[in-house]
Amino acid sequence: MVFNTGAALLDAIVLAIVSKEPEGTYGYKITQEVRQVIELSESTLYPVLRRLQKDECLEVYDMECGGRNRRYYKITSRGWAQLQLYESEWRSYSDKITGLFEGRRENEGKDLAVSNE
Amino acid sequence: MNRQEFLIRLEHLLDGISPEEKAEALQYYNDYFDDAGPEKEQEVLEALGTPEKVAENIKKDYFASGKSSFAEDNYFSTIAPDKSLTKYGSSDGNYGSASYGAASGERASYTDSTIAPKSDRWPTWAIVLLTAACILLSPVLFGLLMGAFGLAVGFFSIIFAFGVTAVALFFSAVVLLIVAFMALPVSAGVCLALIGAGLVCAGIGFLFLVLTVVLCGIVTPAICRGIGWIFKRIFGKKEAM
């Protein structure tokens, strides 16, 4: 993985993953899905979940499953709003960078064309 | 290390945070192992890393989360679109690297955190100036050092003298008492006088003994502490510069 994932982006990723499950999902499953998207140390995920919970972007509930209680995380309405904010910020941010790379490629193309004449 | 050892170690390491937070964190990781299943226990242990790292991540976030909601502060306050990049940078620079150790590298933010200023050391010019002063003033400093040495010698000589005096007086007291005893058949009055003198000597000797002990046991450590305090004040103040 070339680019580091900042705290905000990680929040966005976790929110997006949890939001896919309307009834919520649990820590282990969230971690597995995050790791399919980015490389992440499993020890960093819990603080993110805790923080999102404290910020009221996620809510928790316990459900009995196979004789033990399992803690589920579910996105809140505030979490939805936050996620949408993150998504639009990401679009604008990544568009700019993509534009920068493509513009450079275009310029490079022009330079090569000129020098080949 | 197995799951039990991991969790026990983690519990100890989390002693600095509130009991509720600690219980939640431990519950989370306990459930995590359960959900992964016993066959994945080693895999999970490897993926989690050391309990120390896990505890560090938890504590960092715990102590950083005193700030108000991260998202609100930094997103709703973003005004112009072209400021969003710097917002990413500065906000992640402060919050991201504060919350997540850069040890594994994967969590560091896009921009580096600010370079720490050298405020806890003496500025270079001060060191140079001080060295030059020491060299130039070395004769004076030598004289002062010798003076201090002389004082110390004098001080300990006094203690020694007191001690010797005490011993001498005790010795005299003993001699007087012996002579008094020998004088008893000759004259009771002389005997009594000699006993009295012996007791006086003993008394004064005891006084000197007490003085010696006090100088050794109390005054000397107090002087040492006082000197240490003076040095701390000098160097402690400079560090605060």
Q: Do B35 and A29 touch (CB under 8 A)?
A: yes
List, for residues B7-47, the tens digit of each pLDDT value: 999 999 998 888 999 999 999 999 999 988 889 999 899 88
CB of B233 less than 8 A from some CB of A:
no
A91 neighbourhood in chain B, CB within 8 Å:
none
Alpha-carbon distance of B220 to A110, in angstroms, equals: 86
Q: Do A46 and B31 touch (CB under 8 A)?
A: no
Q: What's the whole-number mean pLDDT along residues A79-104?
A: 93
Cβ-Cβ pairs closer than 8 A, A with B, add up to 118
**pTM (2 d.p.):** 0.50
Distances B141 to A50, B136, B233 between C-alpha atoms, Å: 61, 9, 20
CB of B65 less than 8 A from some CB of A:
yes
Question: What type of residue sits at position B77?
Answer: S
CB of A39 less than 8 A from some CB of B:
yes
Alpha-carbon distance of B128 to B205, in angstroms, equals: 55
Distances B77 to A45, B71, B89, B110, B229 between C-alpha atoms, Å: 27, 10, 15, 20, 50
A32 neighbourhood in chain B, CB within 8 Å:
none
CB of A91 less than 8 A from some CB of B:
no
B168: pLDDT confidence band, cut at 50, 70 and 90?
very high
User: Regarding predicted confidence, which is higher, A87 or B98?
Assistant: A87
* pLDDT at position B84 over 50: no
Q: Do B75 and A89 touch (CB under 8 A)?
A: yes
Q: What's the whole-number mean pLDDT along residues B74-89?
A: 39
Q: Which of B26, B57, B74, B111 to mutate to probe the A interface, most A CBs <10 Å?
A: B57
Question: What type of residue sits at position B102?
Answer: A
What integer best gives the mean pLDDT of chain B?
Answer: 77
Q: What's the whole-number mean pLDDT along residues B190-196?
A: 89
* Closest residue in B to A87 (Cα–Cα): B75
* Closest residue in B to A89 (Cα–Cα): B84
Q: What are phi and psi of B109, to 5 degrees?
A: -80, 180
Q: Do B106 and A7 touch (CB under 8 A)?
A: no
B222: pLDDT confidence band, cut at 50, 70 and 90?
confident
Residue by residue, DSSP assigns chain B as --HHHHHHHHHHHGGGS-HHHHHHHHHHHHHHHHHH-GGGHHHHHHHH--HHHHHHHHHHHHHHTTSSPHHIIIIIT--SGGGHHHHHHHHIIIIIHHHS-TTSSTT--SSPPPPPP-TTS--HHHHHHHHHHHHHTHHHHHHHHHHHHHHHHHHHHHHHHHHHHHHHHHHHHHHHHHHHHHHTTT-HHHHHHHHHHHHHHHHHHHHHHHHHHHIIIIIHHHHHHHHHHHHHHHHHHHHH-
CB of B94 less than 8 A from some CB of A:
no
This complex has an ipTM of 0.83
Lowest mean pLDDT among B93-102, B188-197, B229-238: B93-102
Q: Do A6 and B96 touch (CB under 8 A)?
A: yes
* pLDDT at position B201 over 60: yes
Which residues are CB-contacts of B173 (< 8 A; sequence separation ≥ 6)?
B198, B199, B201, B202, B205
Interface list for A 48-77 with B (CB within 8 A): 48-51, 54-55, 57, 68, 70-71
A70 neighbourhood in chain B, CB within 8 Å:
31, 35
A73 neighbourhood in chain B, CB within 8 Å:
none
